[in-house]
Structure 1
Amino acid sequence: MKTLIRTAVTAAALAAVTAACTSSTGGSSAPPPKATSLGAVRLVAYNSCDDALAGLREQAAANVTAYGFGGVMPFAVADDAAAESKARVATTPEHSTTNVHEAGVDEPDLVKTDGNRVITVADGTLRIIDTATRKITGSVRLTEGEGGPGLPADLLLSGDRALVLMRGGDIMYKTRSIGPPADTRYVVVDLAGEPKVLSTIRPQGSYVDARMVGSTVRLVTRSQPDIAFPEPQQNATEADLIKANQDAVRRAPVDAWLPKIEITDASGAVRKDTVKCERVSHPAGYTGTSMLTLHTIDLAQGVTAAGTDPISLAADGDVVYGTGQSLYVASNPRWWFPVVARPLPVEEPPASSGAAAPAVEPTPEDPPVRPSSTQPTPTVPPEETEVHRFDITRPGAPAYVASGKVPGRLLNQYSLSEHDGHLRVATTVNSGDEKTSSSTVYVLRADTLAKVGEVGGLGKGERIYSVRFIGPIGYCVTFRQVDPLYTLDLRDPAAPRVTGELKITGYSAYLHPGSEGRLIGIGQEATEEGRTRGTQVSLFDVSDPAAPRRLSRLFQKDSGSGAEWDPHAFLYWPKTGLSVIPLNKAYESGALVLQIGDAEVKELGMIKHPTQRQEGGYSYEPGIQRSMVIGDSLWTVSYEGVQVNDLATLSSQAWIPLR
C-alpha cells in the first residue's frame, strides 16, 4: 500500500499547525476535554478448578436476574498435491484479494480466490470455480437434510485448505452432545482434487470473528454458562425469581462454565475436549456470565492432536482486530431495555470492588420508567469498552499480554489501530444523546494498554461514522447534520491533536486509502438538516493535514451500498484506480464500476446479474455482494451466481449459477 501522505509535505504542514487548531468555520476550537481516568483492568489466571468454580459462581450469582444472565434481556440488535499447487502458483493470473484492515492479516469473507480458483459457500455447499474454464469443478455439501438456504458462512483460504466458518443452520451430525442451540462450526476442507471435509470443529457458543496470519487462524467464540434455571413460580416476586436463579448458579458445577469442543475427523470419529481450568483467566472485575474462547488452527497442518489449543477469558467481546503480532478482542457496552433492576437479596460486593448494581438505559422510543418507593432510581450504565491484547507471534495458543479500558463505544474494528508500539482507540460517549455525545481518540501503550494520551471533543452532539488510521495520521468522520472529516496528528502519542477539519453535507461511512495523498470515502449525501439522499463516493486531498479538501464526488440518488457497513464489499484496484461498490436502488440492484484517480471519481458503468424469475411471475435483480479482479476480467458474486465481465469494456463473458 502506498504511503497516503507525502512525508516532506506532511512534516512541514504539521509543524505549521498550532496545537490550538481552528475549524473550517473559523474561530478557536473548544478547550481540551478533561482527562478521563481509565481504571485498571487486568487478567488473572485461576489457580485451580476449585478456585475457578468459587469465583465464577459468586460473580455470576451477583449478576443474575429474574430473566437469567445479562442483567435484563439484551436489545437484539500428499506430495503430488504439493507439486500441483506449486505449478499452479507459477501460472497464477494477477488478482485482487479480500479488502482487509491490515496488510498481511486475512479476514473471513463469503468468497475467496487465489487467482486460479474462486471458492464460495452458498446454501451450505462449498463450490470451486476454475477461473480459466469458468466452470464449477468441484463441490462438497457441508450440511445435512433440507436445511441450508441462507446459512451464514465465511471462508479463509491457505493453499489447498479452506476453513469454512458457519453460524447457525441445520445440524451436520445427528448426535448433539454439547452446548446451547447455536450451531457454530468450523469446517476444514481439502481442495486438492475433489473437495472433501477433513475435520469439523463444533465449539460451544457463537462465532465472533477470526484472523489469519500465514496459514495460522485464530478464532474467537463467545459462550454463556450452561445452567438450567428453574421455571418461574406463579405469583413469584422478582426478588424470589432472582433468589431461585442465584441458588441454581451456586449449585452449578465448574463444568457449566468451561467451554466444550467437539471435533469430528474425516472418518466420522468424534473426540471431545473441554477448556482446562488453568487455561481460563479473568479480569479483576467481571460478571461470570460470559466466556470468550480463542481457538488456533494451522491450515498447513490441519487439526492435530492438540485440537484447537483453546484458551478462555471470563469476559465478553464483540469486536476483533488483528495485526501480524497481536490479536485484540474488545467488548462494547450493551444496550438495555428500560427495566428497573432490584437489589439482590444477598450480600452485595463492597464499594471498593468497583462493582455496580445492574442498571438499564431507556431508549427514545420507550416511556420513562417511574420508580416506586420500593425501587431504586435506574441509572445509566457507564459506556466503557474493555480491550484485551494477545501475542500471536509464536506457534500455538495466543499469549495474553495486557488489558485496558476506555470510555465510550467502538464503531467497528477500524476504531482500533496498532502502530509503533501503541494502540489508538476511537470511541463515542453518549452516542444516543444529541446534546452531550462526543468522540475521543485514545492512545494506549501496546504492552500495558495504559493510557498515554488522548484528543477529544470531536463532533460535539454527533457520533463517529467512520475511522481510518494510516501510519501516524488518523482520520475520523462524525455526523448528525453535516460531516466533519477530522485529520489527526498522532506522531506524539502523549499529545495527539486535531490538525484539520472539513465540513461537508452527508458523511463517509467507510474510508479507504487511495493514491498518494488521497483518501476515498463511501457513504451518504444528506441535506443540511441531516436527511440522507443517496450513495456518494468522495475523493479527498489529504496531502496537507491542515487543510483536507474534497476534490470530487459521485452521487447516486435514492440508493445505498453494502460497502458503507461492510468494507469487504469494496474493491479498489490500485494499478488502475478501478473501484467497485454494490449499489441498490428501488427495483434495481447491481455493482457500480468507478474510476478513482488523483483528481476525479468517474462512473464507468453498472454491472447487473441476470434477472431471476420465480413462480407467480415475480422477478428480481440479484444483489451483488462482492467483486474481484482476476487477470483481464472483473468477477462479481451474488447469492444467485457468479458473473465474469471484461475488465476494459465491462461486456459480459460468463454466468455461473450457484442455485
Structure 2
Amino acid sequence: MDQKELLDKIRHSAEGIEIPEQLTPQSVEEKLKREAQQKKIQRRKIMIRWMEAAAVLAIVAAGGTQTELYKQWKEPALSSEADMEKPVAEQDTESSVQPEEVDASGEFKQADSEEELYKTLQELEKQTGSYARGGDVMLLEESAEITTMDAGAADTAANQKVTGEADYSQTNVREAGVDEGDVVKTDGSYLYILKSSGSVRIVDIRGTKMKEIAEIQPEKLNESIEDLYLDGDRLMLVTTGYESSMEEAESDMYTVNRYQYTALTVYDITEREHPEMTGRITQEGDYRQSRKNGDYVYLLTQYSPSLGDSFEDSSVMPLVNEQKLAISDVYLPDQTSQPDYLVASGINIQDPENVISSKAIVSGAADFYMSSDNLFICNNNWNDGKSSTEILRFACEDGEITAGAMCELPGFLNDTFSLDEYQGYLRVLLTEDSNGESNSLYILDADMQVTGAIRDLADGETIRSARFMGTIAYFVTFRQTDPLFCADLSDPDNPQILSELKLTGFSSYLHPYGDHLLLGVGYEAEEETGSQTGVKLSMFDISEPSQVEELDKYVIKGASYLPSDYDYKAILADGEKNLIGFVCDGEYLVFSYDEEKGFQNLLTYTMSDWEYWDGDASCRGVYAGDEFYIVDQDEVLCFDMNQDFTLTDRLAWN
C-alpha cells in the first residue's frame, strides 16, 4: 500500500467527524510556522514534521485528543520585572564549599530477558501515561488517545580549534578532536552544502568562479538528510526516514504500523564529480545526535518500543542493520522515567557496512557530551517540585561502546557546555532550584562519585554559559547583571572560586580566542531591571584568572535574536584567523578584534526575508584562504577578505 492510498483510507475512516479547531490543517500548519520562526528549525525538518503531522491529524480526527508525549524539563523563562527588581544576594566566592553527602552514583543493570524488559517498560508506561509513539501500533477507533511527538535533537555546544595546518575553517565543535555533523563542510577546495530541498551539493571553489560539480540525493525518497561529515575523500550523510504500512483489523478500523529509522551512508568522493556509495547502516529510532572520533562515527537514536497488551503483541527490541539487539546489550539504570530507549552504535567509516557495537539504554536524553574517551548522556528529571540531572557514562574506544557508571545530581544543565571531562574527571555546572535558584559546580571521578564541589553560588541567578579550559572553568550567571566566574579545578577534591567579574547583560556563549583571551557573545541589558537592550560582544583578558578583565565590548542596539543560542555551530570564532561570524536579526556579521581598536565590524550582509525566517539557523560563514563564504541552504556568496570583503561571486539554486 503506497502513502497516498494509506492516507486515503485514513481520511475515509474519519469522514463525518468534526475536527477541533486547533487540529485543523490550517491550525497545525500555522503552529509549525510559528515553531519554525521561534526555534529556527531547518526547512527540511519542518517538511518532514508536516508530513507526519498530516497523517496523525487524520487519525486524531477519529476521536483522539492531543496530549504531550515527550516533555523535557527546561530552564524557566526570565523572571518577571517585579522579581528582577529584588537584589542579588552577595555570595562568598573566595572559598570552596564542600558537598553535603550526595548519594549521586548508581549502576546499570542488564535485562535478563525480553519478557522482563517488556514488564519494565509496561510499568514505566503506566507511570507516564499511555500514548502512541513512533513505531507503535495505532488503532483507528473511537476514544483512541493519539499523541504527536517532536523528538528533534536538542541543540548542543561547541569548542572549535583550528590548528593552522590548513587555511580553511572547520565546524565549530564542542570538544577538540571530536567532530560533529553540520549542514556545511569545506576542505579548502570544495564546499559540501545541504540544500533546503534535501540534497547535498558539491561546489568547486578553487577557481575565480564557484562551480557546482555534483549532487547527492538521499538513497530513498522518504529520507531526509540531517547532517554531513567529511573526512578526506569520504563524505558521510546522516539521514532519517520512515516506512508505514496499514492492515485492516475490522470494518472501518485499521492498524497503522510505523517504522522510523536513521541511516549513516558513506560515499567515496575521490572523484568529486562522481560520488560513489561504499556502505550504509540503518538504526531504528529518531535521530538525536552523532559524533565522529577518528575513523569512528557514533550514532544516537531515540527508539520507542511498541507495547501491546501482551508480550507476544509487542516489539521491544530495536533493530540495527535490520537485526535485533541482543538482550545483553540493553541496560536499565537504577532510576528512569521514560519507557523509551537511547540506542548508540559505533561504525568504522573504513568498513561502513558493519556495526562494531551497539548498546541501548532505557532512558530519555536531553543533552549529550562526548569527550575523546567517553559519551555522557544527560536526562532531566522533575520530581516533587525539584529538578535533577541524571548523567550516564559510556566508554567509547575504536567503535566499542561499554557501559560505565551513572549518577544523579540536583539541578538542571544549561547546555552541553556545562559538562567537561579532563584527566579522568567530569566537571558539571548545575542550577539548583530546591530552595530558590542557586548554582553548583561538581567534580566526579570515573566511578561518577563526587570528589569535590562548590555550592550555593549566585543565589537567584541561573547559569547562562560556560567554558572549561584545562584546570580553569569560566561560567556566567544572570538575573540583572552578568557575573563571570572563574574557578580553579586543579585539585578535584577542593575546587576554588578565583574571581567574579560583574557586568551588565550576559554572555550566552563563551569561546577561547587566541592567547589569554575569551570571547563572549550574548546580550546587553539594563543594570537595574535586567531588560535586554541589544546583542553584545565582549572580549575578556584571562591571562590572570584571579583578575579577569573585560577589554572591550561591542553592542548592537535593539538586536534581539541569535540563532547561535540554539545551535553553536552557527558561530565562526577563529582567533588565529581573527574572524568572528554569526547571524543576528537577519544579518550575517563578521568582526575582527584589535588590541588597540577593539572589535571591528568587517562585513554586514542583510539576508532576504526567506533566508531570515527559514534559513538563518542553518546559515554558515566559512573561509578558505583569502575568501570568505556565506552559505545558506540555497545560495553561496563569496567575499574577498583582501579587498575589504568585496562580493566577488554568487552561486544560487532555485
TM-score, length basis structure 1: 0.73
Which residue number in structure 2 is paired with residue 652 of structure 1?
A: 647
How far the C-alpha of 1:469 sits from its partner, in A, is: 0.5
- Equivalent position SS for 2:124: helix
C-alpha contact (below 8 Å) 2:524/2:534 kept by paired residues: yes
- Structure 2 residue aligned with 1:303, among 353, 359, 367? 353
Which residue number in structure 2 is paired with residue 581 of structure 1?
A: 582
Whether 2:187 is the aligned partner of 1:110: answer: no
- Equivalent position SS for 2:619: strand
C-alpha contact (below 8 Å) 1:220/1:293 kept by paired residues: yes
How big is each residue's C-alpha offset from its partner over 1:257-287, in whole Å with a ceiling of 9 and x where there is no partner? 21123x4xxxxxxxx2111111111112334
- Equivalent position SS for 2:564: helix
TM alignment of 1:226-241, pairs within 5 A = 226-228=306-308
How far the C-alpha of 1:608 sits from its partner, in A, is: 2.4
Distance (whole Å) between structure 1 residues aligned to residue 150 and residue 615 of structure 2: 30
Distance (whole Å) between structure 2 residues aligned to residue 108 and residue 45 of structure 1: 31
Which residue number in structure 2 is paired with residue 369 of structure 1?
A: none
- Structure 2 residue aligned with 1:185, among 260, 263, 271? 263
How far the C-alpha of 1:451 sits from its partner, in A, is: 0.7
Distance (whole Å) between structure 2 residues aligned to residue 576 and residue 296 of structure 1: 34
How far the C-alpha of 1:321 sits from its partner, in A, is: 1.1
Which residue number in structure 2 is paired with residue 138 of structure 1?
A: 214
How far the C-alpha of 1:161 sits from its partner, in A, is: 2.2
How far the C-alpha of 1:600 sits from its partner, in A, is: 5.1
Whether 2:416 is the aligned partner of 1:413: answer: yes
Distance (whole Å) between structure 2 residues aligned to residue 647 and residue 590 of structure 1: 18
* Change in CA separation of 1:310 and 1:512 when aligned onto 2, cut-off 3 Å: same
How big is each residue's C-alpha offset from its partner over 1:522-552, in whole Å with a ceiling of 9 and x where there is no partner? 0011112111111111001122222222110
Which residue number in structure 2 is paired with residue 155 of structure 1?
A: 228
How far the C-alpha of 1:459 sits from its partner, in A, is: 2.3
How far the C-alpha of 1:444 sits from its partner, in A, is: 0.2
* Change in CA separation of 1:540 and 1:49 when aligned onto 2, cut-off 3 Å: same
Which residue number in structure 2 is paired with residue 232 of structure 1?
A: none
Question: Structure 2 counterpart of 1:635, which letter?
Answer: Y
Which residue number in structure 2 is paired with residue 213 of structure 1?
A: 293
C-alpha contact (below 8 Å) 1:161/1:300 kept by paired residues: no
Which residue number in structure 2 is paired with residue 439 of structure 1?
A: 439
Which residue number in structure 1 is paired with residue 334 of structure 2?
A: 284
Which residue number in structure 1 is paired with residue 619 of structure 2?
A: 625
How far the C-alpha of 1:204 sits from its partner, in A, is: 2.1
Distance (whole Å) between structure 2 residues aligned to residue 290 and residue 113 of structure 1: 36
- Structure 1 residue aligned with 2:587, among 586, 590, 611? 590
- Uncovered stretches (5+) of structure 2, i.e. residues with no partner: 1-87, 135-145, 152-164, 248-255
More strand by share: 2
Which residue number in structure 2 is paired with residue 567 of structure 1?
A: 568
Whether 2:259 is the aligned partner of 1:259: answer: no
C-alpha contact (below 8 Å) 1:542/1:548 kept by paired residues: yes
C-alpha contact (below 8 Å) 1:215/1:298 kept by paired residues: yes
C-alpha contact (below 8 Å) 1:612/1:622 kept by paired residues: no
How far the C-alpha of 1:159 sits from its partner, in A, is: 2.3
Distance (whole Å) between structure 2 residues aligned to residue 132 and residue 602 of structure 1: 31
TM alignment of 1:178-577, pairs within 5 A = 180=258, 182=260, 184-193=262-271, 194-228=274-308, 248=309, 251-253=310-312, 256-261=315-320, 263=321, 272-287=322-337, 289-304=339-354, 307=355, 309-333=357-381, 379-380=384-385, 382-393=386-397, 395-430=398-433, 436-445=436-445, 447-528=446-527, 529-559=529-559, 560-577=561-578
Q: Tell me the number of residue pairs that the alignment of Structure 1 and Structure 2 aligns.
A: 528
Whether 2:638 is the aligned partner of 1:639: answer: no
C-alpha contact (below 8 Å) 2:98/2:452 kept by paired residues: no
Distance (whole Å) between structure 2 residues aligned to residue 74 and residue 436 of structure 1: 34
The percent of aligned pairs where both chains have the same amino acid is: 26
Distance (whole Å) between structure 2 residues aligned to residue 208 and residue 121 of structure 1: 18
- Uncovered stretches (5+) of structure 1, i.e. residues with no partner: 1-23, 78-91, 229-247, 264-271, 335-358, 360-378
Question: Structure 1 counterpart of 2:327, which letter?
Answer: C
TM-score, length basis structure 2: 0.73
Whether 2:124 is the aligned partner of 1:60: answer: yes
* Change in CA separation of 1:628 and 1:563 when aligned onto 2, cut-off 3 Å: same
- Equivalent position SS for 1:184: strand
Distance (whole Å) between structure 2 residues aligned to residue 620 and residue 222 of structure 1: 26
* Change in CA separation of 1:491 and 1:322 when aligned onto 2, cut-off 3 Å: same
C-alpha contact (below 8 Å) 2:592/2:601 kept by paired residues: yes
- RMSD value, Cα: 3.5
How far the C-alpha of 1:651 sits from its partner, in A, is: 0.6
How big is each residue's C-alpha offset from its partner over 1:164-188, in whole Å with a ceiling of 9 and x where there is no partner? 22346xx5x7889997464533333
Distance (whole Å) between structure 2 residues aligned to residue 486 and residue 531 of structure 1: 21
How far the C-alpha of 1:509 sits from its partner, in A, is: 0.4
How big is each residue's C-alpha offset from its partner over 1:321-363, in whole Å with a ceiling of 9 and x where there is no partner? 11221121111236xxxxxxxxxxxxxxxxxxxxxxxx6xxxx
Distance (whole Å) between structure 1 residues aligned to residue 613 and residue 374 of structure 2: 47
Whether 2:102 is the aligned partner of 1:37: answer: yes
* Change in CA separation of 1:611 and 1:275 when aligned onto 2, cut-off 3 Å: same
C-alpha contact (below 8 Å) 1:551/1:599 kept by paired residues: no
C-alpha contact (below 8 Å) 1:63/1:69 kept by paired residues: no
Distance (whole Å) between structure 1 residues aligned to residue 483 and residue 390 of structure 2: 27
Question: Structure 2 counterpart of 1:257, which letter?
Answer: V
Which residue number in structure 2 is paired with residue 269 of structure 1?
A: none
Distance (whole Å) between structure 2 residues aligned to residue 537 and residue 152 of structure 1: 33
* Change in CA separation of 1:281 and 1:34 when aligned onto 2, cut-off 3 Å: closer
Distance (whole Å) between structure 2 residues aligned to residue 489 and residue 227 of structure 1: 49
How far the C-alpha of 1:93 sits from its partner, in A, is: 5.9
Question: Structure 2 counterpart of 1:653, which letter?
Answer: T
How far the C-alpha of 1:301 sits from its partner, in A, is: 1.9
C-alpha contact (below 8 Å) 1:158/1:299 kept by paired residues: no
How far the C-alpha of 1:218 sits from its partner, in A, is: 0.7
* Change in CA separation of 1:620 and 1:312 when aligned onto 2, cut-off 3 Å: closer
Distance (whole Å) between structure 2 residues aligned to residue 523 and residue 142 of structure 1: 37
More helix by share: 2
Of 153-162 and 493-502, more deviation after overlay is shown by: 153-162
- Equivalent position SS for 2:350: coil
Distance (whole Å) between structure 2 residues aligned to residue 402 and residue 27 of structure 1: 33
